[in-house]
Each structure stands twice: as C-alpha cells, then as structure tokens.
Amino acid sequence: MFIRISDPVTELQKELNDFLRIPSFQRKANFPLINIRGNKEELIVSAEIPGISPEKIDISIMKDVLFIEGERVKDEAPVVHLQECRWGKFKREIQLPFLVDQEKIVAKYDKGILSVHLERAPETKPKQIKVQF
C-alpha cells in the first residue's frame, strides 16, 4: 500500500496559484478581439469593442498596417463582485496582407462591433499577362 504525504508548502502554493489564476482567454488574447476575413480584393477587419462611444475610437492606416486605438472607461460601481471585462487604453496594430486604397476605407460601429472595410489598392492587384505565341 502506497501512502502519499503531501508537502504543505506545495499544497499552499497550488491553492494560491489556482486562486490568482487569470482565465486563459484573458492571458492569451489582446483587446479588442479581432477577426479578419476577405479575399484577394478586399478585407473586413472586425473588432469587439462593446461599451465604447464610436467617437472615442481612433482608426488610422500607414502603408499596410491598420491601427485601432481607444479607451474603455472603468465602470465606477460602488461594489464590483466580478470583473472580467478589460478597461483602459488599448491599441491594436494589424498587419494587412496587401496595401489598401486609403480613399475607400469605410468604418462602421454597430452594437459593440467595429467593422473596417478595406479595398485592395489598384496598383497592387495582380495583373494577368497573356503569353503570346
């Protein structure tokens, strides 16, 4: 028969780690969460940014990098029982797979979702070359 004797310091450390553990989705994910979808001609970048006024969101582009910045203000409730939502300033830099036509960028904000529509710049579109024979 095997009797396991636990080390009290190790058990205490494990309990403390479990108590202080940040959920994995918060450790690994940046804020805001981003989705990018599209094809060779256009992209749509979506960001989950609930609780922020659209006027407080700054969007800019430099070459093939899209910047989304803003600040989510902390809720000043008298007693907070649980807080998983992040607050404070944020900035995301998204490397795009191609240059975009900066004159045709459209950003919309609806129900906490920011959608940025990006059309590929004409000079970067692939051109089909016919072989002569």
Render pLDDT for 49-103 as a digit per residue (tens, 0 to 9).
988 889 999 999 999 999 999 988 877 777 877 877 777 889 999 999 999 999 9
Report the mean per-residue pLDDT for the chain: 84
Domain total of the chain? 1
Question: In which element (H, E) is residue 12 found?
Answer: helix 8-20
Which residue range forms the structural domain that includes residue 50?
28-72+87-124
- The pLDDT assigned to 27 comes to 44
Which DSSP category does 81 fall into? S
Is residue 67 a part of any domain in this protein?
A: yes
Domain membership of residue 65 (yes or no) is yes
Whether 100 contacts 64, CB under 8 Å: yes
- The answer as to whether 3 is a domain residue is no
Does a structural domain hold residue 78? no
Q: Is the pLDDT of residue 9 over 50?
A: yes
Residue 13's φ and ψ, nearest 5 degrees, are -60, -40
Q: Is residue 13 part of a domain?
A: no
What pairing do the DSSP bridges indicate for beta strands 65-72 and 58-62? antiparallel
Q: Model pTM?
A: 0.69
For residue 51, the one-letter residue type is G
d(CA 125, CA 49): 31
- Return the CATH number at 46: 2.60.40.790
Q: What's the pLDDT at 4?
A: 55
> 23 preceded by cis ω (within 30°)?
no
Determine, yes or no, domain membership for 2. Answer: no
Please indicate, yes or no, if residue 119 is contained in any of the structural domains: yes
Q: Spell out where the chain has E strands.
A: 33-38, 42-48, 58-62, 65-72, 88-95, 106-110, 113-119
Is 107 among the domain residues?
yes
What is the average pLDDT across 99-120? 95
